[in-house]
Copies of this chain bind each other. A is one copy, B any other.
Amino acid sequence: MKRKMTIQEIARLAGVSKATVSRVLNNRGGVSPETRRKVEEVIRLYSYTPNLVARGLSLKRTSSIGLIVAHTAERLSSHLFFIEFLRGISALLDERGFRLIVATAESEDRYETSCRSMAEGGVVDGVVVLGVRRNDKRLRYFLRAGIPVVTVGRPIGFPRVDYVDVDNAGGARVATEYLLRLGHGEVLFINGPREHTASLAREKGYRAAFRALRREVDEGLIVYGDFSFESGYETVRGLLARGRAPSAVFAASDLAAMGAITAFKEAGIRVGQEVSVIGFDDIPYAHFFDPPLTTVRQPIYEMGKEAGRLLLLRLEGEAGPERLHKTFPTQLIVRESTIRS
């Protein structure tokens, strides 16, 4: 373990001043070719790398950004969303020389201190907030501290915050229309929680599909769950128990769709042959499922990349005062859980 070199020592060894070494390190002009060569030589010889903490203090920029994960990110669907998003954003950040600090928390109050210290400790230049909620308290911390924020999902109550989102309404509409056009008379809609922005948008899409085909929505066929496997399972089981078997299901998550399919299976009803089920997300397991799941794909990886891109745009000051945002299209992936009725 060699002791860590400092810029001062390199300067001494190269026979120049700290300032000159700094200029060489940052490729600034105003250094004669021979001096530069000499300094570079010494740097290479001792394989010196600058201390990033000191640089951070001096520049008031740390080249690291925070990824704030919702405290409720315990559910599986969130997990898979998270990992894919993480891949996307870290690919971009890595490419641009930024580090990623991930903040999670077990409890509500720890969560708050964790956010505060991240907001005010000067360790991050900007943050991406996942699972943003209406009037999110976390956002206030960051905004008050003057830290640029990009949220995933349109942040209600914060008209000036940049965000990336997915076309939830469009995706839901396409899926619902697909089911209706397959000839299904009724489509059970297993939605997410009522408060969730995405749920609202998906419901809007569901209704739009009916309207487009001049059909009536049966309000009794819209139920609210929590995106979980269980919510899909219980909903279908309940309906079957009451003798009311829907011929098609559109679930607001793949997990709920899998739950629904499992309930059908247990009742001896073959999905993809007698009834149709469509999910939402296209989680990696969707195509291993039996039957392989027809679903609405979200480009999560791309959303991660874009969130990073927007944040860096903001950090580099190249963005104007207007809100930056990008909404991604969804794509209906037809597999084997759907059939003409």
Are B52 and A123 touching (Cβ within 8 A)? yes
Q: Which of chain B's residues have a CB closer than 8 A to the CB of A333?
A: none
Encode A283-297 as 1/0 by CB contact (under 8 A) with B: 011001010000000
Q: CA A116 – CA B48 in complex, angstroms?
A: 11
Looking at the assembled complex, report how far the CB atom of A67 sits from the nearest CB atom of chain B, in whole angstroms. Answer: 8
Q: Does A105 contact B (CB under 8 A)?
A: yes
Q: Contact partner of A102 among B54, B90, B95, B143, CB < 8 A?
A: B90
Give residues of chain A (28-80) contacting chain B, Cβ–Cβ below 8 Å.
Answer: 49-54, 56-57, 62, 64, 76, 79-80
Please state if B101 and A101 are interface contacts (CB–CB under 8 Å).
yes
* Any B CB within 8 A of the CB of A144: yes
CB neighbours (8 Å) of A118 from chain B are 99
The interface-forming segment of A81-89, A150-158, A172-180, A212-220 is: A81-89
Size band of the interface chain A makes with B: 35 or more
Given A145-B4, A262-B288, residue A101 in contact with residue B103 (CB < 8 A): no
Q: How far is the CA of A117 from the CA of B55 in the complex (A)?
A: 13
In the assembled complex, the Cα of A106 lies from the Cα of B305 at a distance in Å of 13
The answer to whether A57 touches B49, judged by C-beta atoms less than 8 angstroms apart, is: no
A110 at interface (Cβ–Cβ under 8 A)? yes
A288 touches B229 (CB 8 A): yes
Tell me if A2 counts as interface (CB < 8 A to partner B): yes
- B79 close to A83 (CB less than 8 A): yes
Q: Are B101 and A2 in contact (CB under 8 A)?
A: no
Q: How far is the CB of A170 from chain B (nearest CB, A)?
A: 27
A340 at the interface (CB under 8 A from B): no
Q: Which of B1, B86, B87, B144 contacts A2 (CB 8 A)?
A: B144
Q: Are B116 and A102 in contact (CB under 8 A)?
A: no
Known: A57-B53, A110-B94, A262-B288. A4 touches B123 (CB 8 A): no
Q: Check: A91 CB closer than 8 A to any chain B CB.
A: yes
Chain B residues whose CB sits within 8 angstroms of the CB of A99 once the complex forms: 101, 103, 118, 123
A1: min CB distance to chain B, Å: 4
The chain A residues found within 8 Å of chain B, CB to CB, are 1-2, 4, 49-54, 56-57, 62, 64, 76, 79-80, 82-83, 86-87, 90-91, 94-95, 99-106, 110, 114, 116-118, 120-123, 143-146, 229, 258, 262, 265, 284-285, 288, 290
What would 10 A/B residue contacts be, using CB atoms closer than 8 Å? Answer: A49-B117, A49-B120, A50-B121, A51-B121, A52-B117, A54-B122, A79-B83, A99-B123, A102-B102, A262-B290
Shortest beta-carbon contacts, A-B, top 9 = A52-B121, A1-B146, A49-B120, A51-B122, A90-B104, A53-B56, A79-B83, A53-B57, A53-B122
